[in-house]
Every structure is written in C-alpha cells, then in structure tokens.
Amino acid sequence: MEGWAAELASGRPDAAWDLFLDRYRRLIFAAIRHYAQDYDDVMDVFARVCEALREGDLQRLRTYAAQPDHRARFSTWLVTVVRHLTVDWFRHRDGRRRLSVVAEGLPPLRRRIFEHVFLDQRRHIEAYELIHAREAPTLSFKEFLGELRATYSAVTDGRRGRVLGELGGTPPAEEAPAAASPNDIADTRALLEQAFGALSAEDRVALELYVVEELPAADVARILGFPNAKAVHNRVYRALAAARARLAQVGIGRGDL
C-alpha cells in the first residue's frame, strides 16, 4: 500500500494529501501540460485538480483506494482523472472565458461555429441547424462544412490547440461529402451505422480507434488484447472489406457521400 493510501486508511487525510502530492505533483503537471501549454492555464488547472481531488476529504482517492482490485496502475488512473478535470476546466467558467479569447480573431460565422462546436460541444449538424435557423438562412450545408473545417484549422493550431482538439472531437474530413443537406447526411449516416453496426463490437472498436482516432496499431492491440499490431491490421482489413460489401449492397458509393 502506498504511503498516502495508508495515511488515508488511518484517518489522516491531511498527511495523506501531503504524501500524495509529494509523489504525484510532477505527473499531474506533466499530464496537464499534455493538453495545456499556456503557463497561467497550467497553474489554474493544477489548482482545480488539487481542489477536485481534495473534495469530500479526498473522496476520489478514497474511492480508488477502496476498490478491491485495480485493473490499471494508479498513475494511469490519475492521468485519466487529470485529463477529465483539465478538459472540464476549459469547458466551464474561467477556462471557457480563456478559450473565448481564441475566437476573438475569427470572422463572425466561424466564431459562432467555435462556440457551438468547441464550447457547447454540439454536433456539427446541430450547429449548422442552429446557425441556419437563427442567423444565416442562406448558408448552405456545403458552405457550412467549409467554414467548419476552417474553424478547426484556425483554433487547433495555437497554444490551446490540443485541448481544443479534445473539446471539438474528430474534425471534419478534408473533402466535403457531396450530399447537399443535413437530411441527406442523416440518411446516409443511418445506412453507415447499419453497415458498421453489423461488425462485432471488437472489430468496430478496432476500426474506430485505428481509423478515426488514428492510434498506432500496437496501442489498439494492447487495448483489445490482440497479440500484436499485425493482428490489428488483419482485423481492420477484414472489417473494412465486410463494411464495403454491405455498403455496396445498399447502393452507397463514394460519390454519394
């Protein structure tokens, strides 16, 4: 049992906290700095992480320590928690205000897209529908997609780019689909879900992590318990072939999207 956990179990949360912070301070900073590069952001997020971990007499640490078996190392759990707290800090209050500064140099339409997609985490189609209904009735979906890509490109390139990438999710593809409206996209998406949904959960996750999230095959193999990266390549290749065949059956071609 680690020292901090022993102190916690002995009812000495202050001593537990001192030991915990002594041991993990540098890791916490490193994990924050993976997402945030601005000095003031890092210090403010660190304060928030400490505050959150101390809440309820170290409730989060207490909950972790009380688990009968740990499926991940404590350091990995901590990196996960710090990731959430960092992203949440940027999503709310002070962090949100700081991120808003990023949008100040953008044209009005891209600023609005930024607010919907990065700050409010709306789906791209939802963002389009709101903008189209409220302030830009003549904006076509294709034009919107162009503006969306430009917004992603502009805001994920700076000092706060990595955390904005976390908030914005997967950026749109380089080439816009040919579909003219969100309704077409929604219809096509339903067919896509049908095709990919027919895959096993394991194949689907392998495909998503390798293709969409662009994780290295070795990492995907570790996550899914595959023997090696080659096994990931094989599974993804077969899954893609199966999806391709199903899509062809329902008449979806590349030019339809």
225 binds another protein, rule: CB under 8 A: yes
Site string for another protein, 28-67 (x = CB under 8 A): -xxx-xxx-x-x--xx--xx--xx--x---------x--x
Q: Rounded to whole angstroms, how far apart are CA atoms 137 and 174?
A: 25
List the interface residues with another protein, window 163-222 (CB under 8 A). 166, 169-170, 172-173, 177, 185-186, 189, 192, 195-196, 199, 201-202, 204-205, 207-209, 211-213, 215, 219, 222
Q: Rounded to whole angstroms, how far apart are CA atoms 242 and 198?
A: 9
Q: Rounded to whole angstroms, how far apart are CA atoms 185 and 206?
A: 24
First to last CA, the chain: 55
Residue 13 · residue 61 · CB < 8 Å: no
22 binds another protein, rule: CB under 8 A: yes
**Nearby residues of 60 by Cβ (< 8 Å), 6 or more positions away:** 52, 53, 81
Site string for another protein, 85-114 (x = CB under 8 A): ------------------------------
Site string for another protein, 127-146 (x = CB under 8 A): ------------------x-
243 binds another protein, rule: CB under 8 A: yes
Residue 118 · residue 152 · CB < 8 Å: no
Least distance in angstroms from the C-beta of 215 to another protein: 5
Neighbours of 42 (CB within 10 A): 16
Least distance in angstroms from the C-beta of 103 to another protein: 19
Least distance in angstroms from the C-beta of 104 to another protein: 19
Q: Rounded to whole angstroms, how far apart are CA atoms 82 and 48?
A: 10
Supply the DSSP symbol for 254: G
253 binds another protein, rule: CB under 8 A: yes
Least distance in angstroms from the C-beta of 254 to another protein: 5
Least distance in angstroms from the C-beta of 201 to another protein: 4
